[in-house]
Structures are given as C-alpha cells and as structure tokens.
Structure 1
Amino acid sequence: MNRNFVFALILLAMLSRINAIPHQLHKRTTEFDACSNLPPETPVLDVTISPDPVVPESTDTFTISGTLKQDITDDFKLYIVFTDEHGNIISNDILDICKEVACPIKAGTLYQTTQDVYVPTLRGTSYIVVGIANGTESSDDVLACSVATA
C-alpha cells in the first residue's frame, strides 16, 4: 500500500510539472486584422510572414496582397512598421510601390508583393502595421491597412 502511495505521489508531481511547462509544439501564428483607428470600410491587407512568428534581429519575408477600392498612384507607398505598445515607431520600411509595378494600379485590381524586412529587437508588447498610404496625417489617405501583435 505504501509503495502505491509513493508511486501515485510521484505520478501527480510529474503531471503537475509537465502541465506547468509551456507547450513548445503549439506554434503561434501571427494574425493580421483591420487597423482599429481607420473607418471600417478601409480594406484589410492579407499579410503572411515567414518565419512566423517573426524572429528579432533577422530578416523576415512579408507577403502582402489585397484588392483596393481606390487607385494606387505615384503618391502612395507601402509601409511596414514595428511599434511599441504606446505607438512609438521602433523601425519602419517605406517602399515605393510604383518602382516595382506600373502605376496607376486600378481599383479592384489585386495588388501583391513580397518584401524582405529586417525585424528589430522587440521588447514587451509590439505591433506590426502594414499599410498603403500617401504619407499624410489624414486617415482618409490610407488605402488599406493591417495590424498584428508581434
């Protein structure tokens, strides 16, 4: 009886220890959603990253696509921005869309690109914002946007 009790105690201790260890096999994927500070009709870009989740101090590949409601002209750029929880920019890449493809890109046409982006050191809660905008402060000049927690 005493031997069974010791065996049960060891088994329970091992189970509680195993449940306390984070599950390394459960892969967390980065989910991009609509930017909350923009009108709800602003298109959401489809963004996938590789490797996922991002690896700080390395280069990740961002695959970005979306069908926009307005034409993309020479005035618009692709922004890939890393921010902290307060909205402070940690790092940003601003890419000239029209250097890659012929502009204008008509509304309703699928826009797709793949970009290699350096991922900075991220501390605390950080966000990845991917958007197409013309660089002004007005939210009216954002054609599409997506955001994810890094």
Structure 2
Amino acid sequence: MKHPIFSLFFVLVATVSAINAIPYGLSKRTTQFGVCGTISPLPPLLDVSISPDPIVSGTPVTFSINGTAPVDILSANAGILFFNDEAKYYKTFHDDFCKLSNACPVKSGTKFEFKYTVDPTDLPDSYTIDVGILNLDIKLFMCATTTV
C-alpha cells in the first residue's frame, strides 16, 4: 500500500461518521421530581412519574402518584400546579384525594397510589410542576416538584 496514512485517515473518518450516525435513544432524559425546597420542615416526597414524558401542551398527561402517608389522612386534596414566574402563567388541577386513591382514611405509614389525568394547554417553554397532597387547612402533607 502506497499511502498508509491516507488509509488510516479514511478508516478514522468512517468510524467517527458511523458513531455520530447512531441515534441517542438510550440517553432520553425523563422528568425527575424532587423535594419541595421552600417549606420548612421539608414535607415527605411523593413518587411521581408522568406519561407521556415529556408533556405535550394540549395533550392529556397522566400523573402516577404514590407515597407513604406521614400522618393519618382523613380528607385531603391532590393538586397539580403548573407555573412560570416570567410569564405569571399558572394552571391548577385538583381533586379529592380520597376519591382518587379509593383509600380514605389512610393510616400513617400506609402506602397509597393513584393516577390523575389532566389536560394542560398553552404551556410556556419553561415551567415548574408542583404535585401535592394537602388538607383543607392548606397544610401540605406531601409534595414533589420539577422544572421543565
């Protein structure tokens, strides 16, 4: 072979091109919910996942919510709040926790789970989602938050 450097360069370019052509399907980022950090003491974290992920404005999204009751829950509301500080955008969804979970009263230390489907429309490019369970006195039992 007269030009080994040219052959090596060709193989290197072909390898890099093939690697760049591979789709990045394995690196899909999912929406991760974390603790609500503005309240002291921090309320227990709800385990929240969404489908579809990411949320598409104008398409129903199902929130799968579960956790372990930190106290006895006799009555409460489950709420989902979308907001964006810049545009003062907000959209709230709430319903009776007991109706959604089919489990009231929920004793302290008891696990619960339910699904809640909402239809957010006109979502801004960036927004925060808060998911919470609170009683009628607006005492937060549990929550989770994420920024999209």
Asked if the contact 1:81–1:89 (Cα under 8 Å) also holds between the matched residues in 2, the reply is no
Gaps of 5+ in 2: none
1:62 equivalenced with 2:63 (yes/no) = yes
What is the root-mean-square deviation of aligned Cα atoms in Å? 3.4
Distance of 1:86 and 1:142 partners within structure 2: 25
Please name the residue that 2:97 is paired with.
Answer: 97
1:70-96 residue CA offsets vs partner (Å, 9 max, x unmatched): 11122x100011111359452111110
Please name the residue that 1:77 is paired with.
Answer: 77
2:143 pairs, out of 125, 142, 145, with 145
Q: Aligned pair in 2 of structure 1 residues 135, 83: CA closer, same or farther (>3 Å)?
A: farther
Letter in 2 for 1:112: E
Letter in 1 for 2:84: D
Q: Shift of residue 102 of structure 1? A: 3.8
Q: Percent identity?
A: 37
Q: Shift of residue 28 of structure 1? A: 1.8
Between 127-136 and 109-118, the greater mean CA deviation after superposition: 127-136
User: For residues 1-150 of structure 1, what are the structure 2 equivalents within 5 Å?
Assistant: 26-74=27-75, 76-86=76-86, 88=88, 90-100=90-100, 101-136=102-137, 141-150=139-148
Q: Shift of residue 132 of structure 1? A: 0.3
From the CA coordinates, give the structure whose radius of gyration is larger.
2
1:45-77 residue CA offsets vs partner (Å, 9 max, x unmatched): 000111111111100111000112111122x10
Normalised TM-score (structure 1): 0.75
Which SS does the other structure have where 1:82 is aligned?
Answer: strand
Name segments (4+ residues, structure 1) moved above 6 Å: none
Gaps of 5+ in 1: none
